[in-house]
Structures are given as C-alpha cells and as structure tokens.
Amino acid sequence: MIATEPSLDRATVARYAVGSLGTGGFATLPGLVLVYYLTNTLGVPALAAGAVVVVAKVWDVVIDPVIGARSDRMLAARGSRRPAMVLGAAALPVFFLLTFLVPPGTPWVVAALWVLVAFVLTATAFSLFQVPYIALPAELAAGYDERTRLLTWRVVVLTFAILLFGAGGPALRSLGGGSTFGGYALMALVAAVVIGAGMLVSSTVAPRGLPAGALPPRESALVTLRANYAAGVRVLRESRPFRALLSAFLLQGLATGMMLAGANYVATWVLHSEDAVTLLFLALIAPALVVTPLWGVVARRVGKERGFRIASALFALAALSMIGLLWAPGAWLYLPVAVAGAAYAGMQSLPMAMLPDVISHDARSGGGDRAGTFGGMWTAGETTGMALGTAAFALALAITGYVERSADPSVVVAGATQPGSAVAGIVVAFSVIPAAIVALSLVPLARYRLRREDIDGLV
C-alpha cells in the first residue's frame, strides 16, 4: 500500500516521529554501554564481550527479513502492521531491563550468557516494532518532499533521543552508583519505560485494519522461512537503488557503531573521566538538533543523494581529526565531535528519507507492495553494520592488550590502569578507522541514481 494523500497532518507526523524515542534509545544505549558493562563491570574479556553483542545481532539479522515479509503478509490480509508493533513495544522494556540485572559476583561465563539471552530477546522485540515502523513512511506520505518532511521530524526526535539516552544514560548510571549493579539497574529501568512508551505511542499511527481472523491459513514454518528470505533476496537483486543505499548505510553503521562503542573508553582512558561521556554526547547531539532541519533544506535544493554525500564527507573529516588525541588529549576534542554531530544528522535523515522513495519507485515500477520486506532488509543491514562496529572495536581492544575489570569488590581488579598500546588502540578505533569506513561508503552511494523527477513523476 503506497500513500496517495497530498499532505500529512501534524498529528500523524508527531506520532510517527515519537517512535524514534524508542528506536534511538535502543540503538544508542546498548551500543554505548553494553560492551563497557561486560568488560568493566562483569569482568568479561573483550573478545567474549564482542562475541555476545555479535551473536545477538546476528540473530537480529536472521529474523528481520522474516518479520518484514510477515509484516507485508499481515498488511495484505488485515490492512495493518500494528499488531507486531504493539507486541514489540510491550515486550522490549521487560527484556531490556533484564539485560542489565546480572547479580553481582556472577562468574563471567554465566554473566555473558545471561546478557546474551536477555539481549537476544530484547532485539527480537525491537525488530517486531522497528521493521514495520520503517515500512510506514511509504504508506503515510506521497511525494519526494513530503517524505523528506516526515523523516526530517523523525530524525529530529531520533537526534533528541540519542542525546537523551547517550548523555542521560551514563548520568543515571552515576546517580545509581556508577559502574555497579545499582547504577546499571537504575539506568535500564528508566530507559526501558521511556523506550516502551515512545514505541507504544507511535504504534497508533499504523492503521487498525480488518478484524482479527482475516489472515489466511498458516503455511509450514520451513516454507514461510524460505519464502521470506527469498523475498528479501529478491528486493536486493531487483532494486539497484536499494542495493546502493543499503550498502552505504551499512558501512556507515559500522563506522558509527565503532565510535559509539568507543565513547565510554575514550572518556575513561583518554580523558580520564568516566562522566566525560555525557559531555561527549552533548557536544555530538546539541549541534545535530539545530542542524537536522537544515539538511531538509539542503535536500530540497541540491537533492537528498548529494546532501548525503556532503554529510558523509564532513563526518569522515571530523572523525579523522580526532587522531590528535594520541598526542594531545584534551577538551579540544569536543569541537570535531560537534562537527561530526552536525554531519551525522544528515547521515541519518537523508538516507531515511531516500528509503521511502526507493520503496515507492519499486512499487510503481511493478514490484508491488513490498515495503515490509524492504524494511526488514534495511533493519538487518543497519543492525549488521552496528554489530560489526561493536565487534571491530572489541577486537581492537583485545589486539592492543586491553585489561578487563570487575565492579565486584570480591574480584581482584586487574585493569586499574591500561597499557599504552590499549589507549592508542582506543583512539585509532575511535577516529581513523571510522573515518576510512565512511569514506568507503561513498563508493556504493555513487551508484544511487534516483532523483526528484524519478519519484515525483510516479506520484
């Protein structure tokens, strides 16, 4: 179902946008603190901590195309994607809280398994909401600029959510006792309530559809699984714009995933203040909140794809400049972080506004209503990028000799200090490597060929 309405009312825009409180919170807080929680509170070695995150995200990648195809099936049968969104929004807060409730003194192997199971369940609940959520813009808004408006305000809320959870999460952790059981429990409880509330409110923007019982008979699980993956592979094969856009976004997710995972380590071991991560996020997101609507103006004047390239290049340059932390760590870091934040706003809002164009172009070119399948593949690609970024950062820690710690006083603390090689590894994995990956993402982006006339000519 592709939207044909000429404009969106403000209530629809607002309800859709508020869902990014949930998506931004879930994307930001685990990426920021989960590996740090494992290595610096539970005493899990860096490689094992990275493996926990990767396995959970691999599961996410496995189920996203399935959820996407099932969402399309539900839309065709009932006229609504809402049931899965509501289920995900209700379940996620419970599992999110459990992820950070590992009892003090738990052996690190058991602690890692606890976090793995809880986080896999959290990721499953998130996908139930996120995949249909991403599919909705093509059904809510018609036209090149109207979708830009809808997605711009979504990214404004997303940016606010990144600030709220990126700065507020560590602040709540400190209020609850720092990197201890109480600190993480308080942080997770508050975050779970806010994430769940945002997702539930946003679920109301999806149409209610037909009464229950309208679905056709179920096929076998194996047949359904094969059909869902075939649908995902088909959209990748048949839509060149989607392949180009998703490849660029996946690479950028890898880069930002590395930087997100590294922020706590930079604060602790480079700036020598665990609380400095709050200032890093303030420096990153405050400019983004101001600049996000301006990227919408840029898109209208020069095109979304050109604006996306400009934002990516600016981010890469800002990240590269942070290599100076090797020789002169200090408060100057907040300036390039602010530039990166302004660029990141464009790197989020513009591809998100381009995705509904891809979906609409596919539907009107004979592909049919496959928005959920596109959404599933998009979420899988984004998740893959962020997971690989977290894993790559954990690998850098292990290679450069990072020493894990435990917050349990009964456990001997081996990592009161870190070797110089580990500190250097943190800086390089926070600056040079992400900059190179973002620069590489411009290669597939150059193959994205959809322009305004290709989209508005179809409406």
Looking at CATH, the fold of the domain delimited by 10-210+221-456 is given as Growth Hormone; Chain: A; (1.20.1250)
Look-up of token digits 């404009």? 7
Does 224 or 322 have the greater pLDDT score?
A: 322
Does 419 or 135 have the greater pLDDT score?
A: 419
pLDDT of residue 221: 45
pLDDT of residue 109: 93
CA–CA dist 382, 202 (Å, integer): 21
Q: CA-based angle 401:405:409, to the nearest 5?
A: 155
pLDDT of residue 214: 46
Q: Percent of the chain beyond pLDDT 90?
A: 30
Digit-coded pLDDT (tens) for 60-108: 777 877 787 777 777 777 767 788 888 999 999 999 999 999 998 899 9
Q: Which residues contact 17 (CB under 8 A, 6 or more apart)?
A: 153, 154, 156, 157, 202
Q: What is the mean pLDDT of the chain?
A: 82
pLDDT reading at 56 higher than 50: yes
pLDDT of residue 2: 47
pLDDT band at 46; cut points 50, 70, 90: confident
63, two tokens: 């189920």
Query: Nearest 5°: phi and psi at 408?
Result: -75, 120
Say how many CA atoms lie within 13 Å of 209 toward its Cβ.
Answer: 24
CA–CA dist 419, 233 (Å, integer): 45
Does 127 or 223 have the greater pLDDT score?
A: 127
Does 405 or 163 have the greater pLDDT score?
A: 163
Domain parsing of the chain, residue ranges:
10-210+221-456
**What's the whole-number mean pLDDT along residues 408-434?**
76
**What's the whole-number mean pLDDT along residues 273-285?**
82
**What's the whole-number mean pLDDT along residues 287-311?**
87
pLDDT of residue 453: 66
pLDDT of residue 255: 94
How far does CA 59 lie from the centroid of its chain?
15
**What's the whole-number mean pLDDT along residues 341-352?**
89
3-state secondary structure the chain: CCCCCCCCCHHHHHHHHHCHHHHHHHHHHHHHHHHHHHHHCECCCHHHHHHHHHHHHHHHHHHHHHHHHHHHHHHHHHCCCHHHHHHHHHHHHHHHHHHCCCCCCCCHHHHHHHHHHHHHHHHHHHHHHHHHHHHCHHHHCCCHHHHHHHHHHHHHHHHHHHHHHHHHHHHHHHHCCCCCHHHHHHHHHHHHHHHHHHHHHHHCCCCCCCCCCCCCCCCCHHHHHHHHHHHHHHHHHHCHHHHHHHHHHHHHHHHHHHHHHHHHHHHHHHCCCCCHHHHHHHHHHHHHHHHHHHHHHHHHHHCHHHHHHHHHHHHHHHHHHHHHHHCCCCHHHHHHHHHHHHHHHHHHHHHHHHHHHHHHHHHHHHHCCCHHHHHHHHHHHHHHHHHHHHHHHHHHHHHCCCCCCECCCCCCCCCCCCCHHHHHHHHHHHCHHHHHHHHHHHHHHCCCCCCHHHHHCCC
pLDDT band at 191; cut points 50, 70, 90: very high
pLDDT reading at 144 higher than 70: no
Buried b (16+ CB within 10 A) or exposed e, 306-341: ebbbbbbebbbbbbbbbeebeeebeeebbebbbbbb
CA-based nearest residue to 150, from 139, 137, 136, 166: 137
- Per-range mean pLDDT, top range of 43-52, 156-165, 331-340, 404-413: 331-340
CA-based nearest residue to 385, from 26, 19, 57: 57
Look-up of token digits 């508005």? 456
CA–CA dist 278, 22 (Å, integer): 20
pLDDT reading at 198 higher than 50: yes
Digit-coded pLDDT (tens) for 157-182: 877 887 788 888 888 888 888 778 88
